[in-house]
Chain A
Amino acid sequence: MADLTTDFLGIKSPNPFWLASAPPTDKEYNVRRAFEAGWGGVVWKTLGSEGPPIVNVNGPRYGVIHGADRRVLGLNNIELITDRPLEINLEEITRVKKDYPDRALIVSIMVPCEEEAWKAILPKVEATGADGIELNFGCPHGMSERGMGAAVGQVPEYIEMVTRWCKQYYSKPVIVKLTPNITDIRAPAAAAKRGGADAVSLINTINSIVSVDLDSMSPEPSVGGKGTHGGYCGPAVKPIAMSMVSEIARAPATAGLPISGIGGVTTWRDAAEFITLGCGNVQVCTAAMTYGFKVVQEMISGLSDWMDQKGHTSIQDFMGAAVPNTTDWQYLDLNYVSKASISQEDCISCGRCYAACEDTSHQAIDMSEDRVFTVKDDECVACNLCVEVCPIEGCITMVEQEAGTVDPRTGKTVSSEYANWTTHPNNPSAVPAE
């Protein structure tokens, strides 16, 4: 079995699967259960300043987008940071860390954007023995209206400032959790780095309304007939999260900055993908909230099996392996030509490829009277839609056209030379090839 041990900012954990700061990590009881189930680390649910506890709504806090058979595809929440007294949380963190020295325990913090507030809480957190802190600059609901959470994460200057305070008043690693509710994720990441952050974690949840009750006309979750936007997470947000992670991994200003990947990690495969895009570990919430803590067992066995298969002995072996292959559109090879190919042996003649291509794409699939579907190479632009709508995995594939052959659609010979948009004659700003 491959070694899943991770060392993230010097913080060791037996595997790269951490629970994200969220309802599952709000209490000693839950966190102990999580560690017993096998989670490598936990980011404790966000602590606020000392004083009267946070108040949550007393109606529903969650809304969901369901797939077939009520599979949870996307989850939205309007819960705030911990609503339990600071002292109790700190006591529990201390006890848990003492009992689980081999696991990572990170404390998430969100206090007002004032130096005094951070100066006050950081020594208390330090005293718990926890391995590090995560700055919650991401929650998009409730706290952001009070100038915290995403309200900070949307202003790079604030991120830099607060991060600096934390590095000043806290001795262990500081992770900055970023909000995706921003135009360019590279700006807040760079700000965090300037402030001295040891790592960034992303994404926090996305502003969202998951549904509207068509009888009461209230957005859901509906609290007494009114709804508000919540934070969206779960499998549906994974593509957005991975794109943002890759941007940070690729940007010169932030390349090499450790990243903890968050956003819809549901299986070992999701985790592996995040890691290949440059993450040192992943954080999970929705999968645990949907299936319970036991899911980590599948993540551990799956990742380990895959690593064995590929000959990877550590997470480090493939960390960031997909980053060099993530590029801008303008650098994609325009001389690469492929064509869809339908395996008649696997085809079940549902005709979905035909409907999709005929109605919405390039009229490149032919349907015979006896329901045999074939690709018209002279029309196929290799868009991949047929591959994706086909219900049978592997039935339709994209086959690369070899260099030297003629593309029947364009009549041109396929070149083995790499050529992209930057040098294309149709590009008004093209630079002629030297």
Chain B
Amino acid sequence: MNSQMTPGLAPARLSNDELDANFADLHAPLDPHEAAVAADRCYFCHDAPCMTACPTDIDIPLFIRQIATGTPDAAAKTILEQNILGGMCARVCPTEDLCEQVCVREVSEGKPVEIGRLQRYATDSLMAKDIHPFERADTTGKTIAVVGAGPAGLSCAHRLAMLGHDVTLYDARSKAGGLNEFGIAAYKSTDDFAAKEVNWLLSIGGITLVTDAALGDGITLDALAGDNDAVFLAVGLGGVNALGVEGDALAAVSDAVDFIETLRQTSDLATLPIGRNVVVIGGGMTAVDAAVQSSLLGAQNVTIAYRRGRDAMGASRYEQDLAASHGVKLLFNVQPAKVGGTDTATDITLEYTAETDGKLVGTGEMVTIPADQVFCAIGQTLTMDGGLAIAGRKIEVSDTGRTSRDGVWAGGDCASGGDDLTVTAVAEGRDAAMDIHATLMGGA
């Protein structure tokens, strides 16, 4: 029987009960009384800072007051009108960097109103009743292709369908949801929530989902543009940056996104092999998700190695502390120099870094730590090439998602601008849909 001490890669380092407990909801849902108490803390600020901080501009004081007055379904509608994936955003939004960061109670007492958990309370309440609160407008006869069924694509498709357009929603995978389904930590989306939310979203009607259809593999941008009145691209970032150091091709050196995806899709956590000594290279949310989940699977030692200082980390302080609370060691100002091992990784050598004149350089000082598994979380890249103008390695878009090609909009991680958050993707999808609608319907 395996344990946390078992060398190399090994499955079932923990008992099934421990695994179940580890991968349960990160934050338990609020019960009605907790929600009432939490909601009562909201001051119903004038022109509230939290609203301004929300990328989807949810009327937060209003929905919290609706919870406080015992109408969580009305609260949910307030949320979903602005953000159709309000349920998932309630689970994955870095609220500590957005609405809760600017909550006046955070400013005054260091303890914000629990906006994220309240949002989940409201959206869960509505979705538990299987109510879809929106209806489609009369059909417009316009057809629109949406490529990519992640947060941006789903948001765009829903808004377009609601406005009366007919949408075909393509996704390269066999399942819709994008990063909601494949890319975030399992304890943030338990009980198959991402898939349930997609089904609930599609229940508005007017959206035809076509899976296993990737651009360049069955469909082309030219064909879609020719056959439809508009195209919205939300293909995400399909490629990953390579480590580019000696030993990066060894077994047990892999991409963090693949690890997270496998973990999300497995039906039995006890079958997943995990190293005894895991090192994650990177400093974003993906790095934290991979590291924490390695620890939860039973890895004995987990280290995040990040090339810059704490403040430059993409993952919020809250996420950093979450990792630390799960025993993850955070190593700053180090860059990978070499992965050691013959067939499979056994250790990793890191070089300390320093910043001179704004440039990061190795100091020459090395440190080698055991690593029987290395995950790379050093960024993802755009893989599609549709002849569109590019800005900063992403598809160049306007404020409303227009690309360099007429009739083609883009949003989400594949498009320029935004913070690569679920919530910004939702906002971009929604806003592009409104612009597409305005464009197709003219002055009407």
Contacts and interface: CB of A to CB of B under 8 A. Distances in A.
Interface of A: 68-70, 348-352, 354-355, 367, 371, 391-392
A395 B44 CA distance: 18
B57 to A, nearest CB: 17
B47 A68 contact: no
A302 B33 CA distance: 31
B47 to A, nearest CB: 6
B125 to A, nearest CB: 19
B40 interface: yes
B108 A351 contact: no
Contact of A69 (B40, B43, B105, B107): B40
B44 A352 contact: yes
Interface of B is mostly: helix
A337 to B, nearest CB: 27
B40 A352 contact: no
B107 A349 contact: yes
B45 interface: yes
A355 B108 contact: no
A404 B46 CA distance: 37
Contact of B37 (A68, A348, A349, A351): A68
B370 interface: no
Most buried by B among A70, A349, A350: A350
B40 A351 contact: no
Contact of B45 (A68, A69, A70, A351): A351
A353 to B, nearest CB: 9
B40 A355 contact: no
Given A349-B104, A354-B46, A371-B47, 12 more contacts: A68-B37, A68-B40, A69-B36, A69-B37, A348-B107, A348-B108, A349-B49, A349-B107, A350-B43, A351-B48, A352-B45, A371-B49
B308 to A, nearest CB: 31
A348 B49 CA distance: 11
Nearest to A346: B108
5 contacts: A68-B37, A69-B36, A348-B108, A349-B107, A351-B48
Given A68-B37, A68-B40, A69-B37, A351 B46 contact: yes
A420 to B, nearest CB: 36
Interface string B97-110: 00000001101100
Contacts of A355: 46
Contacts of A351: 45-48
Contacts of B43: 350, 352, 391
Nearest to A359: B46
A350 B40 contact: no
Interface in B260-295: none
Interface in B3-53: 33, 36-37, 40, 43-49
Interface residues of B, number: 15
A349 B47 CA distance: 10
Interface string B172-210: 000000000000000000000000000000000000000
Contacts of B48: 351
A350 B37 contact: no
A348 B46 contact: no
A367 B45 CA distance: 13
Contacts of B33: 70
Nearest to A371: B49
B104 A348 contact: yes
Contact of B104 (A68, A350, A367): A350
Contacts of B104: 348-350
Contacts of B49: 349, 371
Interface string B102-130: 00110110000000000000000000000
Most buried by B among A69, A391, A392: A391
A90 to B, nearest CB: 45
A391 B105 CA distance: 10
Contacts of B36: 68-69
Nearest to A70: B33
A68 B105 CA distance: 17
B400 to A, nearest CB: 25
A306 to B, nearest CB: 27
A349 B43 CA distance: 11
A348 to B, nearest CB: 4
Contacts of A350: 43, 45-46, 104
Interface in B105-162: 105, 107-108
Contacts of B40: 68-69
Contacts of A70: 33
Most buried by A among B44, B105, B107, B108: B108
Contacts of A391: 43
A349 B108 CA distance: 9
Nearest to A351: B46
A305 to B, nearest CB: 26
Contacts of B47: 351, 367, 371
Nearest to B108: A348
A367 B46 CA distance: 10
Nearest to A69: B37
Given A68-B37, A68-B40, A69-B40, A352 B108 contact: no
B99 to A, nearest CB: 14
A69 B105 CA distance: 18
Contacts of B107: 348-349
Nearest to B40: A68
A333 B108 CA distance: 37
Contacts of B108: 348, 392
7 tightest Cβ-Cβ pairs between the two chains A and B: A351-B46, A355-B46, A68-B40, A348-B108, A348-B104, A350-B45, A350-B104
A4 B33 CA distance: 40
A297 B44 CA distance: 36
A175 B45 CA distance: 50
A233 B40 CA distance: 24
A69 B68 CA distance: 11
A319 B47 CA distance: 47
Contacts of A352: 43-46
Contacts of A371: 47, 49
A179 B49 CA distance: 49
Nearest to B44: A352
A341 B410 CA distance: 50
Contacts of A367: 46-47
Nearest to A68: B40
A220 to B, nearest CB: 15
A392 B48 CA distance: 17
A349 to B, nearest CB: 6
B247 to A, nearest CB: 52
A367 B49 CA distance: 13
B438 to A, nearest CB: 29
A246 B33 CA distance: 40
A266 to B, nearest CB: 19
A217 to B, nearest CB: 18
Nearest to A66: B36
A397 B33 CA distance: 35
Nearest to B109: A348
Nearest to A356: B46
